[in-house]
C-alpha cells in the first residue's frame, strides 16, 4: 500500500479547511486537503443566494452561540472581518453591503472559491477531491490515515474541517464528531439551527392561505440553558415569511437557534404601529369599513383577513365593540405561537453545538489532550447568527489553526 508523509492533512475543503491550508502552506508546511465532494467549497457556492454573504462588518462575540461564548473571541480578534475583506479586495472581487453589515459579492460566490483555491495553489497546497478517510490511527506523535482510494498518509497534524450535519444532500456527514469521539473529546448537543420552524396541523390549516406573505417583524423567545433555567429574552427584527409548513425568513431563522421544542415565540407583525389606536381611529373616521379592510391598511391584506377570521371579527368596524378591536393588538403586536419543530438538517443553514470548546485551545484550535489534532469551523461548538458570521468563524478559526498546525 502506498504511503506518503505530510506535515498537515486537512479533511474538508470548505471555508475553514481552505483558509487553514492557505495559512499553513504559507508557513512552508507540506499541506494536503482532501474532500469527498467533487468540488471544493460547495456551501460557499450556494451561500447568500449565490453571492455569498462572506462576512459581517459588525462581527463581535455577541453574534455567536456556544456553551462558552468567550471561546471564539481570540480567533475572531486575530483574523477579523476586515482582514478577510482585505483578501477579497486584493483579489479584485467587487462587493457590497446589503443590510446590517452583511457583505456580499456583487457577482458570484464562485469568486470566493476561486480566491481560496488560487491562494492554496500559491501556497503549494495539494487538493484532492472525491476522497474520504477510512480510518485514523495515532502512531507516536503522528497520525496514520487510511484513505478510501487505498492509500495511506502519515501526518504530523490532522485538521478536522468537515462542517456540521446541515444539508446532507450536499455531503454533510457529521464525520468530524466521530473523530472527536474516537479521541475521547466531549461533544455538546447538536441540533439544526438557522432553520424554518413548523406548525401543528390544525394551526397550519388556518395559516396555509398565508404562504408567501412576508412582514417585517420582531420575533422574541425566552431561551433556557441546558439546565432548564430561563435566560434573558432574545429578539430579532427582520423579515418573516409564512410558508406551507410554518414560518421562515431571517427573523425566524435567527430565533430558531435559541428556540427549543415546547417553547413559544412571540411575534410583533407591525412593530412600528399601535394597532388598537389605529383601529379605533379608523372606526371613528369610517365605521362602514370592514374590519379586515381597516387592518389591511396596517399589515398585508391576506394576513389581515386570516387574523380577523381567527379572532371572529367579521363585519364593519361600527358593528364591533372597542374591546374586541383592542384585542387585535395582541393578535398583531404580540402573537404568541408554539412551533412544533423545525424543518431539520434538510434545510438548516448550520448545526448548533459540536466539539466542546473546553477540549480545544482557543488560540490554536488544537485538542488539549491530543497534540496535532485540530478542529475548525462549523464542527466546533461555535455557531453564528445569520448574516455572514458563520463564514467569519470559519475564516478566523481556520486562520488560527493555520498558524499552528
In the complex, least distance from residue 139 CB atom to ligand FDA, rounded to whole angstroms: 21
3-state secondary structure of 181: helix
Residue 380 sits at φ, ψ, to 5 deg, of -85, 155
* Least spacing, CB of residue 391 vs ligand FDA, in Å: 3
* Phi, then psi, of 336 in degrees rounded to 5: -105, 125
Nearer to ligand FDA, 160 or 307 (CB): 160
Give dist(CA 294, CA 155) in Å, integer.
69
**Minimum distance from CB of 274 to ligand FDA (Å)?**
35
To ligand FDA, the closest distance from the beta carbon of 218 in angstroms equals: 23
Closer residue to ligand FDA (CB): 133 or 255 = 133
Residue nearest to ligand FDA (CB): 14
Nearer to ligand FDA, 23 or 42 (CB): 42
Answer for the pair 87, 95: CB distance below 8 angstroms, yes or no: no
Cα dist from 287 to 72, 266, 313, 315, whole Å: 57, 30, 14, 10
Indicate the residue among 162 and 198 with the shorter CB distance to ligand FDA. Answer: 162
The residues facing 246 across adjacent strands are 198
Q: How far is the CB of 384 from ligand FDA (least distance, A)?
A: 6
Instruction: Give the nearer residue to ligand FDA in terms of CB position, either 36 or 142.
Output: 36
**Residue 392, helix vs strand vs coil:** helix
Q: Which residues bind ligand FDA (CB under 6 A)?
A: 11-17, 35-37, 42-43, 46-48, 52-53, 132-133, 161-163, 166-167, 171, 173, 175, 349-350, 377-378, 388-391, 394
Closest approach of ligand FDA to the CB of residue 15, in Å:
4
CB of 105 to ligand FDA, least distance (A): 10
- Rounded CA-CA distance 154/289 in Å is 78
Closest to ligand FDA by CB, 11 vs 123, is: 11
Kindly give, in sequence order, each residue whose CB lies less than 8 Å from that of residue 331, ignoring residues fewer than 6 positions away: 307, 310, 311
**Burial of 155 (C-beta count, 10 Å sphere; 0-12/13-18/19+):** buried
In terms of DSSP bridges, do strands 133-139 and 142-147 run parallel, antiparallel, or are they unpaired? antiparallel
- Nearer Cβ to ligand FDA, position 37 or 317? 37
Amino acid at each position: 500500500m502506498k504511503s506518503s508523509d505530510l506535515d498537515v492533512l486537512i479533511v474538508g475543503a470548505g471555508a475553514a479547511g481552505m483558509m487553514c491550508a492557505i495559512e499553513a502552506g504559507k508557513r512552508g508546511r507540506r499541506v494536503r486537503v482532501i474532500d469527498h465532494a467533487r468540488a471544493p467549497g460547495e456551501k460557499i457556492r450556494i451561500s447568500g443566494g449565490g453571492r455569498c454573504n462572506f462576512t459581517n462588518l459588525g462581527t463581535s462575540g455577541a453574534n455567536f452561540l456556544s456553551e462558552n461564548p468567550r471561546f471564539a473571541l481570540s480567533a475572531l480578534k486575530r483574523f477579523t472581518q476586515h482582514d478577510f475583506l482585505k483578501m477579497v479586495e486584493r483579489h479584485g472581487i467587487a462587493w457590497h453591503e446589503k443590510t446590517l453589515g452583511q457583505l456580499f459579492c456583487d457577482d458570484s460566490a464562485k469568486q470566493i472559491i476561486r480566491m481560496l483555491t488560487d491562494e492554496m495553489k500559491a501556497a503549494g497546497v495539494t487538493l484532492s477531491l472525491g476522497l474520504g478517510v477510512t480510518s485514523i490511527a495515532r502512531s507516536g506523535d503522528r497520525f496514520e490515515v487510511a484513505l478510501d482510494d487505498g492509500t495511506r498518509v502519515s501526518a504530523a497534524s490532522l485538521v478536522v474541517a468537515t462542517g456540521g450535519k446541515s444539508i446532507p444532500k450536499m455531503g454533510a456527514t457529521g464525520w468530524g464528531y466521530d473523530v472527536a469521539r474516537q479521541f475521547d473529546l466531549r461533544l455538546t448537543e447538536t441540533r439544526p439551527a438557522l432553520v424554518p420552524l413548523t406548525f401543528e396541523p390544525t394551526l397550519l390549516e388556518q395559516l396555509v392561505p398565508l404562504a408567501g406573505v412576508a412582514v417585517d417583524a420582531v420575533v422574541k423567545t425566552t431561551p433556557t440553558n441546558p439546565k432548564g433555567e430561563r435566560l434573558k429574552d432574545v429578539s430579532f427584527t427582520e423579515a418573516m415569511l409564512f410558508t406551507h409548513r410554518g414560518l421562515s425568513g431571517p427573523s425566524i431563522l435567527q430565533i430558531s437557534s435559541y428556540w427549543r421544542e415546547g417553547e413559544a415565540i412571540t411575534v410583533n407583525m407591525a412593530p412600528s404601529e399601535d394597532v388598537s389606536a389605529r383601529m379605533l381611529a379608523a372606526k371613528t373616521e369610517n365605521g362602514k369599513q370592514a374590519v379586515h379592510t381597516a387592518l389591511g391598511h396596517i399589515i398585508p391584506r391576506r394576513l389581515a383577513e386570516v387574523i380577523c377570521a381567527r379572532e371572529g371579527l367579521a363585519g364593519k368596524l361600527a358593528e364591533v365593540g372597542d374591546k374586541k378591536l383592542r384585542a387585535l393588538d395582541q393578535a398583531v403586536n404580540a402573537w404568541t405561537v408554539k412551533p412544533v419543530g423545525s424543518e431539520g438538517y434538510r434545510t438548516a443553514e448550520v448545526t448548533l453545538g459540536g466539539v466542546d470548546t473546553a477540549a480545544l485551545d482557543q488560540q490554536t484550535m488544537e485538542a488539549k489532550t491530543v497534540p496535532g489534532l485540530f478542529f475548525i469551523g462549523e464542527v466546533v461548538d461555535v455557531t453564528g447568527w445569520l448574516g455572514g458570521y458563520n463564514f467569519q468563524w470559519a475564516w478566523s478559526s481556520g486562520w488560527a489553526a493555520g498558524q499552528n498546525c
